[in-house]
């Protein structure tokens, strides 16, 4: 699968080889794929509307990433609310340096915002997220950029960094916007929040309504301001943020940030990908039954 992710898979394999060199060939190695949780996404959501034979020939489709995080957050939400897995209908937002949204129905991922690579979807620290593919050729011609230059531009110089011209760090952007009234820092934040809200709207439609929206990731877990801005304008869907609860949910705190009367609950649940990786590894090695 190196072909599909040339920047990542060779390094992952090197990690396995290096560990094997230290631990010996008898110690089993388990690879926990960030795409695995998204295997339940139906064809209608994972296929791009390009000639079908290109999907067959080159496996060009949406795979989704951050699966371990979305899976953990959904599992933890069920644990906190007592809702059974098959009745779990929620939208999870992993907002860190990389960002993605996931629509979860019956406990399974049915759609997610990252695609063939982690470039698609939400605005991220340095990635553009959704973009008209025609921009690639146009920019290549105008700026004299090769396809790999454009790829680099969209992955490493875009998103919050590209829009603000300052930084990919949300903390710094918020400080610039609040303290120095920096227009482009504010613009980057506005675009980030607007895109996230659009995906929530799309996934509410995909799911036919949801029982909760859950924030995770460095930004989702720590920034009450960003959560409030994303939720602002979701009143029609039943979201009513409790300002005090929202302000409390930072630095690893876990809980609901909407009022008692809100029809659509919003939660903050710090992600724990390491825990699921450890559990998956244990399960694969011992053959124990799946819990999630």
Shortest reach from residue 99's CB to ligand AMP, in Å: 9
Report if residue 270 touches ligand AMP, rule: CB under 6 A.
no
* Angstrom distance (rounded) from CA 41 to CA 83: 21
**HEC string for the chain:** CHHHCCCCHHHHHHHHHHHHHHHCCCCCCCCCCCCHHHHHCCHHHHCCCCCHHHHHHHCCCCCCCCHHHHHHHHHHHHHHHCCCHHHCEEEEEEECCCEEEEEEECCEEEEECCCCCCCCCCCCCCCCCCCCCHHHHHHHHHHCCCHHHHHHHHHHCCHHHHHHCCCCCHHHHHHHHHHHCCHHHHHHHHHHHHHHHHHHHHHHHHHCCCCEEEEEHHHHHHCHHHHHHHHCCCHHHCCCECHHHHHHCCCCCCEECECCCCCCEEEECCCCHHHHHHHHHHHHHHCCCCCC
Residue 18: partners with Cβ closer than 8 Å, 6 or more residues away: none
Cβ partners under 8 Å of residue 251, min gap 6? 221, 222
Out of 126, 222, 246, 258, the residue judged to bind ligand AMP by CB under 6 A: 222
Cβ 46 vs Cβ 115: under 8 Å: no
Q: Which stretch binds ligand AMP (CB under 6 A): 29-37, 185-193, 217-225, 230-238?
A: 217-225
Considering only 43-51, 54-62, 149-157, 167-175, which stretch makes contact with ligand AMP by CB under 6 A? 167-175
Taking the least distance from each CB to ligand AMP, the nearer of 109 and 222 is 222
Q: Is 96 in the site for ligand AMP (CB under 6 A)?
A: yes
Q: How far is the CB of 222 from ligand AMP (least distance, A)?
A: 3
x/- track of binding to ligand AMP for residues 177-216 (CB under 6 A): ----------------------------------------
Residue 230 binds ligand AMP (CB under 6 A): no
Which residue, 158 or 223, is less far from ligand AMP as judged by CB?
223
Query: Is residue 223 at the binding interface for ligand AMP, with CB under 6 A as the rule?
Result: yes
**Distances from the Cα of 40 to the Cα of 46, 79, 209, angstroms:** 10, 21, 19
Q: Which residue is nearest to ligand AMP (CB)?
A: 218
* Beta carbon nearer to ligand AMP, 143 or 178: 178
Which window, 115-123, 170-178, 233-241, 274-282, contacts ligand AMP (CB under 6 A)?
170-178
Nearer to ligand AMP, 74 or 95 (CB): 95
240 contacts ligand AMP (rule: CB under 6 A) = no
Q: Is 34 a catalytic residue?
A: yes
Q: Judged by CB, which is closer to ligand AMP: 88, or 271?
A: 271
Count of CB atoms situated within 10 Å of the CB of 278: 13
Q: How many residues bind ligand AMP (CB under 6 A)?
A: 12
Residue from the set 129, 159, 217, 270 that interacts with ligand AMP by CB under 6 A: 217
Catalytic residue among 26, 34, 232, 242: 34
Q: Whose Cβ is closer to ligand AMP: residue 67's or residue 125's? A: 125
- Catalytic residue positions, numbered: 34
* Binding site residues, ligand AMP, CB under 6 A: 96-97, 125, 169-171, 174, 217-219, 222-223
């Amino acid at each position: 699968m190196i072909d599909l992710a040339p920047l990542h898979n060779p390094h992952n394999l090197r990690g396995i080889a290096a560990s094997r060199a230290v631990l010996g060939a008898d110690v089993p190695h388990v690879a926990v794929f960030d795409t695995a949780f998204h295997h339940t996404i139906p064809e209608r959501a994972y296929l791009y509307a390009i000639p079908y034979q290109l999907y067959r020939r080159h496996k060009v489709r949406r795979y989704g990433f951050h699966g371990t995080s979305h899976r953990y957050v959904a599992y933890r939400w069920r644990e906190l609310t007592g809702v059974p897995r098959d009745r779990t209908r929620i939208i999870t937002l992993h907002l860190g340096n990389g960002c993605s949204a996931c629509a979860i129905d019956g406990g399974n991922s049915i759609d997610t915002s990252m695609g063939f690579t982690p470039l698609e979807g939400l605005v991220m620290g340095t990635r553009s997220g959704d973009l008209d593919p025609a921009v690639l050729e146009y920019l290549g011609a105008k700026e004299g950029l090769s396809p790999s230059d454009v790829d680099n531009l969209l992955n490493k110089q875009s998103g919050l960094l590209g829009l603000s011209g300052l930084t990919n760090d949300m903390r710094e952007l918020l400080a610039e916007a609040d303290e120095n009234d920096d227009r482009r820092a504010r613009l980057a934040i506005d675009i980030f929040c607007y895109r996230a809200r659009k995906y929530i709207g799309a996934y509410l439609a995909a799911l036919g309504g949801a029982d909760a929206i859950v924030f995770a990731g460095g930004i989702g877990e720590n920034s009450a301001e960003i959560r409030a801005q994303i939720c602002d304008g979701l009143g029609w869907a039943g979201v009513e943020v409790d300002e005090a609860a929202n302000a409390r949910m930072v630095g690893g705190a876990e809980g609901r940030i909407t009022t008692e009367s809100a029809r659509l609950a919003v939660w903050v649940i710090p992600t724990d990908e390491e825990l699921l990786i450890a559990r998956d590894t244990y399960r694969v090695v011992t053959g124990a039954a799946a819990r999630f």
